[in-house]
Amino acid sequence: MINLSVNVNKIATLRNARGGNIPNVLQVAMDCERFGADGITVHPRPDERHIRRSDVFDLRPAVRTEFNIEGYPSEQFMELVLSVKPTQATLVPDAPNVLTSSAGWDVAPNMEFLTGIVDRLKEAGIRTSIFVGTDLDNIRAAASTGADRVELFTGPFAEEFDNDPEGAVAPFAAAAVAAHSVGMGLNAGHDLNLHNLKFFQQHVPHLMEVSIGHALISDALYLGLEATIKAYKDCLK
């Protein structure tokens, strides 16, 4: 079974738009677990425009499944992650002001930096994942950092899916084989949804985990959170 990690950033965005504590990020995360999610993901940004540092500290003792913190590994981010000790840290190359992740790491030019980050996280017993595209040499370079997994940036797949499903998924299937061949676990995320997820998981081997936030929370407005999580889990069977 492929794990579903629910990114609760959008819940925090809605809360922050009004102030107060409605919707309650902690309660929603606990409900996601209760409804069958296999993990909770957060992506705290320096301006705290959605998930706040305080949310991360509140979530850590409450999350009973896997807790994944993703973000750019600045010293501020590392201080938070090493303090909280999540199950997994996903390293993304985002600049502080971007709306959402839009590309993976170019690993080779950042090899020394990423290797140092991975070493620090692994010393703390935190599983590491590097956010990458489908370039095969780049995935092999990611393995050289000592990271446990790669997370494939699935934005290009989602963009091309309606036009050419087979062509859209082919680079991701090849990337999955390459990651597996160098001993890395495989995660995926970005713009996966109820329309494209089942096809993706059927054609991409060795997939261990998907992280989904925006689409899942949007679907929950219509279907309800429990039914939505069930629908996404059904796609992963």
Q: Which residues are catalytic?
A: 43, 70, 190
The one-letter code for the residue type at 117 is I
**CA dihedral angle for residue 72, residue 76, residue 77, residue 78, rounded to 10 degrees:** 110
Helix axis angle, 25-34 relative to 53-62, nearest 10°?
30
Give the chain's count of helices (H) and strands (E).
11, 8
**Bridge partners, 42 (sequence order):** 69
Q: Which of 190, 189, 198, 187 is nearest to 231 (CA)?
A: 198
Give the whole-angstrom CA distance, residue 45 versus residue 146: 25
Give the whole-angstrom CA distance, residue 74 versus residue 123: 17
Q: Tally the C-alpha atoms within 13 A of residue 200's C-alpha that lie toward its C-beta.
A: 34
